[in-house]
Amino acid sequence: MNGVKSKQKSTIRWVLLVVLLVPLIGAGTLVAMRLEGRTPEVTHNMTEPFIGAPRDIVLDISERGRGLQRIRVTLTQNGHETLLEDFQFEGSMLGGGSGIMAHQLPVSIDAARLSLKDGEAQMRIEVRDFSWRNWWHGNLAVVELPMVVDTRAPQVEVLSRLHYVNQGGSGVVVYRLSETCTRHGVEVGGHFYPGYPAGDKDPKLMCAFFAVAYNQGTDTAVLASATDLAGNQTKMGFHCRIRSKSFRQDVLKISDTFIQDRMKPLLAAEGKSATDPKDVFLAVNRDMRKDNYVLLTGLGHQTVPKMMWDGAFTRLPKAANRARFADHRVYRYKGAVIDRQVHLGADLASLQQAPVPAANNGRVVFAGRVGIYGNVVVIDHGFGLFSQYAHLSSMAVAAGDRVNKNDIIGNTGATGLAVGDHLHFGIMVNDTFVNPVEWWDSHWIKNNILNKMKLVARAAGSKN
């Protein structure tokens, strides 16, 4: 009997102990959680430490405890501190914190507005969370970024002279920069053509191939442009005269047979369909053409920063012209005008499935089917200059292949929207199609391109 009572008393003592310990353990666990010691993490999108022109530095801030409490950003120069951001999150220490585990904060910096002077500065980023650490002030992460304030715009010295460019034609500019720039080249009517290092001896010596599109007038502004690491920009004019050119207009009559036999299959190949003949025509001649243009001109970003070509470009041997560059085409269906397009190349007809030579040395960046152009090969010749070969019956090269002038890259054909066996040949500067005739002309190349590129050697020599 006494043993039973003793056992009952022991059980009661254990129950009381558990009752007392559970709250203490819970409280201890809660306190431990509230005292978590993981500091917030800060990353940013700065790749260079330069500031000058207005820009946003984007901070990505994350935390793994009770949430973010405060983000404070300052900029200090010569002992003077400027508050850039002071962002506080809603929440409390006693409650559940803020619950915000990640936040992206753009910090705007404008050297002129902040009255910053050229020289060194420092950005300080302070981030606190809702931990009970540090006497309820939270875990503190501090990131200090050294910066260089630069408010001076870069200088561009144009070394080449007397640039005469045709509407629909090409040109090149040789220039020297005063400092390292993230973006530089030529703007034609606001359209940008990037520049590239022109030699190894002078790292600030550059060249930029540019184009005047067929539809840009003789009064189009042509400017040298440069933006430095701090975002400061210079735009300046240089001697560039645009010669007016006239382009032919052709009227093409479209038949139901042509739409049924040539256009419907092209539409079906892309998984699309239409029943009305006019809708089929516009879906191919207008919409597909636009998509194909975007694809082809997008290849202009794959150029290598050196000149691989040499001398005049090869023309398809013994070929007759069937269409010229920038022919303005009017399409009539059942007597009514239904579309207008511009032909951005030269159509050359020789023998059926005639061998097609590479126009010059380069690297194949594309070989495949492109809608209305059928089988297409595109070659990069460096510095943003490309040649295009379309409607091929076969292709003998693949993307990545190196080719020399006159290497056979395929055979002419009638793929895509071609009417009869021929080669559609195009020249593209960066992302603008230009008149191929210029690049077949050795005298034009010498006077307008090579003589200016000779300045590279002379200019580099003058710096040594």
Is residue 24's pLDDT more than 80? Answer: no
pLDDT digits (tens, 9 = 90+) for 336-345: 999 999 999 9
In this structure, are residues 402 and 378 in contact, taking their beta carbons and an 8 Å threshold? no
More confident residue, 400 or 34: 400
Confidence of residue 25 (pLDDT cuts 50, 70, 90): very low
Domains in the chain, start-ordered, CATH in brackets? Answer: 41-149 (2.60.40.10), 156-245+449-462 (2.60.40), 249-430 (2.70.70.10)
Confidence of residue 20 (pLDDT cuts 50, 70, 90): low
Share of the chain above pLDDT 70, in %: 91
pLDDT digits (tens, 9 = 90+) for 160-193: 999 999 999 999 999 999 999 999 999 999 999 9
pLDDT at residue 89, rounded to an integer: 93
Share of the chain above pLDDT 90, in %: 80
Is residue 199's pLDDT more than 90? Answer: no
Confidence of residue 454 (pLDDT cuts 50, 70, 90): confident
In this structure, are residues 75 and 176 in contact, taking their beta carbons and an 8 Å threshold? no
Is residue 1's pLDDT more than 70? Answer: no
Confidence of residue 27 (pLDDT cuts 50, 70, 90): very low
In this structure, are residues 69 and 91 in contact, taking their beta carbons and an 8 Å threshold? yes
**Rounded Cα distance, 181 and 227, in Å:** 5
pLDDT digits (tens, 9 = 90+) for 201-212: 889 999 999 999
Is residue 19's pLDDT more than 60? Answer: no
Is residue 427's pLDDT more than 80? Answer: yes
Residue 111 host element (H or E): none
Burial class (CB in 10 A: 0-12, 13-18, 19+), 263: buried
- The set of residues, in sequence order, having a beta carbon less than 8 Å from that of 302 and lying 6+ positions away, is 365, 380
pLDDT at residue 259, rounded to an integer: 96
pLDDT at residue 7, rounded to an integer: 60
pLDDT digits (tens, 9 = 90+) for 131-141: 878 776 889 99
**Rounded Cα distance, 184 and 161, in Å:** 18
Is residue 314's pLDDT more than 90? Answer: yes
**Rounded Cα distance, 61 and 319, in Å:** 64
Is residue 196's pLDDT more than 50? Answer: yes
More confident residue, 342 or 29: 342
More confident residue, 347 or 16: 347
pLDDT at residue 22, rounded to an integer: 46
In this structure, are residues 378 and 299 in contact, taking their beta carbons and an 8 Å threshold? yes
Mean pLDDT of the 373-399 span: 98
In the predicted model, what is the mean pLDDT of the chain?
A: 91
pLDDT digits (tens, 9 = 90+) for 40-87: 999 999 988 999 999 999 999 999 888 899 999 999 999 999 999 999
